[in-house]
Structures are given as C-alpha cells and as structure tokens.
Structure 1
Amino acid sequence: MAATGHLQRISASLAVFLGLFGILQTGNCDEQVPLILWTSEGISLPSQSPPTAGHIVEQQQLAAYLEKALTEGPRNVVLFLQDKMSIEDFTMYGGAFGNKQDSVFPNLEGALMSSSSPLVLPAVSWPASNAVIGQLQDQLETSPLYMDPETLSQLRLNASSPALLVFRLPYGIGADLMSAKEILSGNDEVIGQVLSTMKAQSVPYTAIYTALRPSREAASLSIEAGLGGGRSLLQARGGYRERERERERQRRIKEKAEIYGPVEFKEGEDTCILLWAKGLTVSILRSGSWEVQDLTSSTFGKEARLKLDGSRCDKTKARLVLNYEDVLRHRDFKLIFAMSQRHYKVSARRWFTLDAVELEYDGNKATFNGSRNIYAPAEYSYRCESVTNFRWPLLIPHSSKDPANQWRVSFEDFQIQGFNVSGSEFSYASDCAGFFSPGIWMGLMTSLLMVLVLTYGLHMIMQLRTMDRFDDPKGPAISVPQTE
C-alpha cells in the first residue's frame, strides 16, 4: 500500500509538471526561465503549491519557495546553473516532458521520479534566477563552491554543516538545433555524474536546476525545428519567416553585446596592459580535497568591481595586480602577472614573456613560472585555449617546496598583452597551439609506414636472381657421377 501511494504521488507530481509545461508551451517565454527543485531519494518536503498557469515567479516569491524548502529540507544544496534555458528545451527534447520518445534528460527525469516532492516553476523571471546564488548564500550562510564532477568526488560533505555547490552548465545553438540537443544531453550526463557522487557519499541534498537567461524565443524554436506554429496561409509564410530572421539577427546582436571586455590597465591616458579569459578559477588543497572558486564574474564584465592597485608598466617591465576580497577564506587575495620584454640577438627581434603568475594571500605568496612556455613577439599578444598548472601545465611552481604546489590556477581561453598596446584592443595573437597537431602527426606516421613497406618490397624484388643453368628436356639429362 505504501509503495502504491508513493507511485500515485509521483504520478500526480509529473501530471502537474507536464500540465504546466504544456500550457506554457504556446505562451511567450522570452523573459522567463524554468526552475526545478527536488531532494535526494528518501527525503520528503512539505508540498508547495506551484503557481497558476501563466504566472511569472518574481524574486520575492522565489525566495519564499527556497526558504521553505531549505528550512525543512537538506541544507546541502546542489545548484545546476545553465547559461541559458527556456521551456521549449524541455518540450522539444524531453521524453516525459514532451511528446518525443528520445529524451535527452534521462538522469533529470530519473531524479524527479525518485523524489517524493519535486517543485517545478515553469516561468521564473530571469532577474530572479540570476539572484538564486545570492538568496541561497544568505539562507545557508555559506559561500558558494564552484565545482565540477571530478573535484566533487574529492570533497567530503557533512549533513550537519550546509554547503552550496554550484555546477555551471553551458548552452549553445549553432547553425542547426542538433548542437543545442547535444549540449543539453551532455549537461544531463553531468547531472547524472553529480547525483551519483552525492548518492555514493550518502549525504542528503536539495538539488536545483535553472538558468541565467532564456535561450530562445518560442516561435523561433518552433519554426526552426519544423514543429510549425499552427495553421497559416502559404502566402503569409514569407513575411513570417522574415520576421523570424530579424528576431534571430537581433538576438545575435544582443549576445555579442553581452560578451565582456578585457581587464584594462592604463598608465595615464594610454592603455598598457590587457587581460582576458573566458573562465578563471582558483583552487586550494585542504584536508586532502580541493576547494574551488570561480573568479570569472569577479574579474570580467560589467558587474566586476576589480581593483588594480599595485599595477605598473614601462617599456621593459609590466605588472598587473588583480585585488580580490574573500577568496577561498582569505580576506586579502591578489593575482599578479609579471611580464618583461627584451631583444634576442638570435631572432633579431624583441620578445615578451610572462615571467611569473603569483598568488598573494594574507601575507603568503605562491609563485608559478611561466617564462618557459608563455612568450610571444613584443608587438603581439599571447593567446592559449587553456593555461593551468595541472593537466598539461604551462605554469610551473618554482620548487617542490613552494606553496604553489597547494594551489591550482586555471584560465580558459586566455589572452594577455603587456606591451605595445594600441587603443583598447589586443594586437595580433601568437597562439600556443603547436604546428604539429595530432592529425598532422597521424598523417606523417601513416606516410612513413607506407614508405617503409614500399622500400622493403622494392628491396625484395631487387634481390631476385635467375638460375645460371637450366635443364634442357631435349638433350641428355644431367647426371651426377657417384663415387664409392
């Protein structure tokens, strides 16, 4: 009987979930994102009535939902924060969520099925979803930890002390919608890995899945996916498609405007140092596990309030100092880039090198050497897809006893220029990618193998020899006398 009642509650929750999704599918979701909240298996929460169809949950109402869930539920919170998401992502690509059988959300659906009291908010205003981290931080009274599935397995959680674990998930749409489907499927796999790790640690948790911005307009998605927008006259389709193209163009312009600019240091009125990265994280090893913090939003973008005190530059030396507050429990934290340039007689030109990347925290210093791997012509900028001190490191600690061995620094899509800056834009980039890529090496090795086989075959042919004497069938047979 208990199992039957549990299945009935799950069916009822999914029915409400699907009903709300179905109602909102035809609505305008340009300014809203969905939010899904559930708890680990075996943990139940008091049921919270979802909003009525068409109602948009604002920041104050969302805070009330979260406060009630965290007051009576687990205070270890796992937040899956996707860059962009809209209701159509579920109706187009979901199995239980929509009409398709090939769902890209099997792990998410399984988590909802195992939870006794999931909460689904189909329409949350994106300013409210942007404030989720701040609301959770205030209610849990703890700082967020930006994690990935690999580092989560090294972290030991405690049910008695709250924790806010944030997992950033990407979202992108290329020339066709298959790219969005593949990315959503990959995000669901990340969700499955995280939930499996949490289950292995036997720590109850509250999970939240939402996004920072809506992904696309509903009408645009329906047309591009071939779902159709209802009945329409053939002669009217041309004008409708033109409007959709214009909306797509405006969306791309808006996305381009959202790309943040580089960190810019000026000496007087002239810019002399530029730094940019798509992602910046630092980690410290404590008690056998890595604590991670994402500094991207604190360093770049309009919301960054970064101080550059201590930075300086001249014709031969450049020093960029990024000052932070409260990073990984350190009140004063500095990230320093020391660069220099000089003339090399062998190449007959000037080169600049990133001599060191330093971390200063509460009077301590950790130093990474970058001069061996990070360099470029003095009039160029330096760019690399990944700059880290682990996993193919370009930053090397000075010695085995240096405190840098307890730290990890990771830059994604890194670019820096400390000399000959013109205006506020980077010069031509000297990329770290080597000339001999894996594909080139594969082609060279295959060609070399074929040449060796051909050479061996020619050598064998050239070693063939004919007999000096042949047996003539018309003449007397060759006899060999026998002697006793």
Structure 2
Amino acid sequence: MPACYATPADHKFLLLESIFPVSAQGTPALFWSPEKPLTHLPEISGVDPVSANLLQQEYLKPLMQHSTESAVVFLKDRLHIDDFTKFADVYSLDSDGGAFKNIKSFMDEYFSLEIPQVKDPLKAVKELKSSFVGAVHTADSLAAVEKLNLGPSQKFLLIVELSPSSDLNDEEQTIASNDVTVGAVCHHLQKRGIKYTAMFTGKSSSAHQAEEFETFSGRHLLDTSESNIGTFVNISGAYLFLREVLVHIAHKDEKITLNLTVTDTFADESDINNNTALIQFDFDGTSKNGTGDYTVKITFNTTLKGDRWTINKILLSVDGIGEVGSNGSLSDSPLRTDDMDLVIPVLYSYHCSSMKMYVDYIRNKDLKDFQGTYVILNGLQMQPFNVQNEAFFNAQDCVGFFSRGIWMGIFSSLILLVILIFGVMMVLNLSTPDRFDDPKGKTITIAQAED
C-alpha cells in the first residue's frame, strides 16, 4: 500500500483503519511541509512496522536535512493509532479532527505523509539530533519557542516536548491541549517566515493499547485455575505455548493411547530462520496401560510470505511401535487439517484451544493400517515470525470457515424460510368466492314444487 501523500483537495485525515489493522503495533508518525512535496519518499507497507533506522535514513534524513529548511519534531509521551480512532472523529465526513483539530488542518492544507506504525521513533529522533547539521533547540511550550533566536536565515532542529498524559481518563483533554500547542508553534514559525518540515509522533506506543494475547497465567472469566497451566518457550525469537498433548495410535486391531509430558525443552530442536521455521515438538512417554515406551515428534513446516505466514504441513513421527510389515511404524506421516485455516496474517499468532488432527491415510495409502490415529494439541499458540513487544500478537483461531453454530443457524433459517414460502404460496392460491348473488343483477329464483 503506498504512503498516504496528500494535497488540500484529496486528503482524508487518518482514515487508516481501512488500510491498516487498528491493533497495529508501533507508534504513528505524521509529517507535513508547507513548501516541499513528499512524493519522493519510499512507499509504506500496511503490515510491516517501520524500524527506527529506516525512519531515520529514508524519511527524516531526506525531509529534515535540507540545506534551506529547518525541522520541527513534536514529541508526545505515548501515541497509538487507536488514539486517532477514539479522539479524531475519523468516521465523520464533516469532522474537524476532534482532539487533533490543528494537526488535521495542517495535514489537509500542506503536503503530508502518514506512517501508521514505527518501532521506537524516539531512537530515530535521537539519531537525527546527534547528526543534524545546524542548531538544535528544545522547548516545551509556545512561550519557550518565542524566547529562542529563530530566523528564516538560520537552519535549526526544534524538538517540542508535549505535555504527558497523567491519567488515561484525561487522555483526550491532554491530546487536545497538545494539539493547541502544535498549532500555536507552527503559526508562530510561519509568522517569522521560517520554512520547515514538521513531524508529530510519540516516544512509545500507548500503554493502554497493549495488544491482546493469551497470557497463560492467572484466570480468565469462566475458566478454572488449571485451564491456563501450560509451557511457554522462546526459541530463537519464536514464541510457542502448549498446554498438553495426546496421541492415540490405532494400528490395525491395536489401540495405544500415549501419556506424554510437555517440558520446557519440548521445542529445543526447532530451526528458526528469517523466512522459514521448522517448529519441532519432541515428547517422551509411555502408553496408558504401560505396555511400552515411545518417542513422539510433531513437526510444523512454516513459511513467511509477504503479508502472511503459512503452516505448510504438519508431520507425526512415533518411535517404539512394533514393526509389522511396511506399515508398522510412523515416520514423518502427514496429519490432515482440511477444515483449518493455516494462513495467518504476518503480525498475528496462531491459536487453537483443541487442535485435533488425523493421520492422512486418504492421500497416503501406506498409512491405511493407521486409520483412526490422531493427535490432539490442547492450548496451542505459536508465532514464529515478527514477535514484538515481548508478547504474542492477536491470535487467529483455528475455527473453520463454517462452525457448527453457523451451520445450525443456516439450517434453522432455511427451515423457517421454507415454511414462510409455503405459507405465502398458500395465501396466493386463495380465490374469491363467486357463488353469491350479484345485488345489481337479476335475482335468482328457484321454484319449489307444491305438495
């Protein structure tokens, strides 16, 4: 998705929800310049956060180190894209910007650019400050700016520290107050005839906008205290969580249920790369009737492709099964997941409360003797790529496209619809009685025989 470059005629203030997820991680950064178009800047992807280094090299440097222009950075303590959703009245066609009234006015009137999510913008600002060629000033109000010796012939970097939010309840009031400060400072610079490029951003993402994820500790509503007990591991930056695993092996007439234990090292053999991840779960266990020891390996092959990552295949290996012909063992046997959506948005994790998968003997005839063999992973959550803020991102659940509830609703609606159509057809087939006398016509007289 290209960057949101704007002119006074076509700009729509921060209607980012139609392009970017509202739960985007990172801090927005807004640029505007009264004099200079911003079309030479790189395009922005709607799913990938901009790093501090990229912000510095590709945006701040070209914009704010021009030989004849000064730079102004407005820094709020915390800022999230949800703040615009809540306080900017973005869904109203006649909106004046709400708490961001002055910022909206500048974005509409001047050349502007929006970056919806930046990782650690404060780091980029510090790098700009250390490398800026010219005077560097810091202020926290219009009065402090007025005291500075600023002029159109002097190139400078002005960093304006906006008022922090002391309480979540006064967030809108604080934003509105800071917006007034931004407007006052920009108008003051214009009166002095200073050419500048401005940026409005936050030091960090809003604390109250922390992303939702399964915490695996404490209790959830209507949950028992045991329901969130599980094992969490971090393997080379990949986050994995598993509560329990059950393997049921049906080999011809023999049925084996394995009692497995999830340990802290259950995923140590996983191999994580930039665009591929081999997630391997290893378990040692015994059958519930104590007939033997078994080693179980479950492998997830995942790939990162652009704006999504996919689970390509899931394989099961079990050592310890007695050799019975060519079909007596399970080695890298595919598991069937036909009703599960295994394509996940790039920033999201994958979660399944109870993931039941059968050995795929339908496509692999060599596994026909294992018909009925299945694996259940309870409380599974994984995110092999793009883990941010040391937490799982919002999860895509393993519910199929049509759940049982949806089918129940569809069938119930169809039954009611059939009844309605039948009733309407019955009403339409009613005819007006035509066996009565016409009051304007000749009277019908029926002669009666006399005795």
TM-score, normalisation: structure 1: 0.39
